[in-house]
Structure formats: structure tokens, C-alpha cells
Amino acid sequence: MKRILVLGGYSGIAQKVEEKWARQGASLYLVGRSQAKLEIVRNHLLVLGAKEVYIESADLNNLNAHKSILQRAVASLNGLDLLFVCYGILPDQKMLEKEPEKIVENYNTNAISVIHFVTTSVNYFESRNAGTIAVVTSVAGERGRKSNYFYGSAKACVDVYLEGLRHRLFHSGLKVITIKPGVVDTPMTKELGKKILIASPERVAEDIIRGIENGKHIIYTPWYWKYIMGVIKLLPERLFSKLEI
């Protein structure tokens, strides 16, 4: 059964994905900032049937800690089959526009730390010619919009990085998967209110599990975001700039 390292172990999406893996008897190593929240999730997953669940409290913005986190996960799980990256912050767009000195946290958390940890893990997976790296980004990274371009540009950075990594590793035994959800009903998005196209984390988790199992390179969830963003990307900028989105 799979040995899985999850970054962002108690995020809204990650918890629902972990529940499905737990029911399959997977071994899990969960990383997040809050020890208390990780303990709650661990106990829940063990009840659901996870073979074993390890937890580690860490700040993933501390790049110097990444190698040791990976090493502890590999040692605890006796190997690693899948890295699942599912963490981030949704910054206040208006606040960052007025206080540019605060944009660093957005890029550190949503882009730099993700790219650094994935690159660190690639070195492990490459030495074994096997493994899967699945990273949750966002459809917000597909086109810059005035409502969230700080967040979207960080996700776009990760998207392009993963595309290049997938290209480099195409002939290896490694899989690199980009997961692009739309708006999901989680604590991170509660300030956005109830939007028409908001999806449940359960629905998104099902899409993620199915996409990983089917070996997809890019997973849009729910599926219709692939076509929505396809249309939005085709709009001429003169027309796009007039839209209130």
C-alpha cells in the first residue's frame, strides 16, 4: 500500500483526500504548522483504517528544514511513493496593493517553499526511478485578474515550474501532477462567500484520487474549470480588461 508524505496535512482539501487514502490502508506522514490540529487528523485517519500515521509540526517557509523533513518521512514510512503538496494562503489582495512590503509571505508560502520542497524530493525519487509528485495549485494561476493577481501569479509560478519538471522527467519513472481546483468550500475561502461554482472538498478529493490513479498530468477539479479557463484565456486583453472578475 502507498507510503505518502502530505504537506499541509490538515488543510480542507488534504483532509478529504487523506480520508480516502486511509480507507485504502495507506501509510501517511502529515506535515503542518499546528501540532494540535495534526493530532486530531491523525486520530481520525487511524480510525478510518490508515496503516500508520506520523505527524510533524513545521513551518514550510523554513527552507533549511525541508531536507530533514523529507528524510524523517522516508525513515518513518520505510520509503516514499507519493508526495502530495496541499498548502497555501489566500492573501488579502487590497491589503497587498497598499502594503507591498507584505507580499513576500505570499510568494514564500505559495511558490518558493513549494518549489524548494518539490525539488528536494525529486532528488530522492530520481535515485529510485519511481514515485509520484502531486501538487495542488489553482485555476487562479491561468490568467492574471485584478481580484487576486498576487495569489494567482504565485500559483502560475508553480504551474510553470511543474510543467518544466514534468518535461524533464518525462522519460523517467517519475510522475509529476498539477492539480488545479476552482473555488473550494474550505476555511481558506470562507471570506469569499458562497459562490455559484464553489465545490465541496469531498468532490475535489474524489477528482484528485481518480486523477492520480489514472496517471493524469493535469487535473482540473471540478472538470468544468478546464473549459471555463480555456475560454477566459482566449479572450483578447482589451475585452478581458472590461470584465468584473
Q: What percent of the chain has pLDDT over 90?
A: 89
Residue 173 confidence (pLDDT): 87
The grid cell for 225 is 474549470
- Per-domain residue ranges for the chain? 3-240
User: What confidence score (pLDDT) does residue 190 get?
Assistant: 62
In sequence order, what are the beta bridge partners of 221?
181
Give the Cα separation of 94 and 70 in Å (integer).
Answer: 36
Q: How far is CA 88 from its chain centroid?
A: 8
pTM score: 0.94
Which grid cell is 3? Answer: 507510503
Residues 6+ apart with CB under 8 A from 32: 7, 8, 9, 10, 11, 38, 55, 57, 58, 87
pLDDT tens, 191-202?
655 566 789 999
Lowest mean pLDDT among 33-37, 73-77, 98-102, 237-241: 237-241
| Superfamily for the 3-240 domain | NAD(P)-binding Rossmann-like Domain (3.40.50.720)
| CA–CA gap between residue 199 and residue 51 (Å, rounded) | 29
Residues 6+ apart with CB under 8 A from 128: 173
pLDDT of 21 higher than 90 = yes
Tell me the per-residue pLDDT of 138-186, one tens digit each, with 9 for 90 and over.
999 999 999 999 999 999 999 999 999 999 999 998 999 999 999 888 7
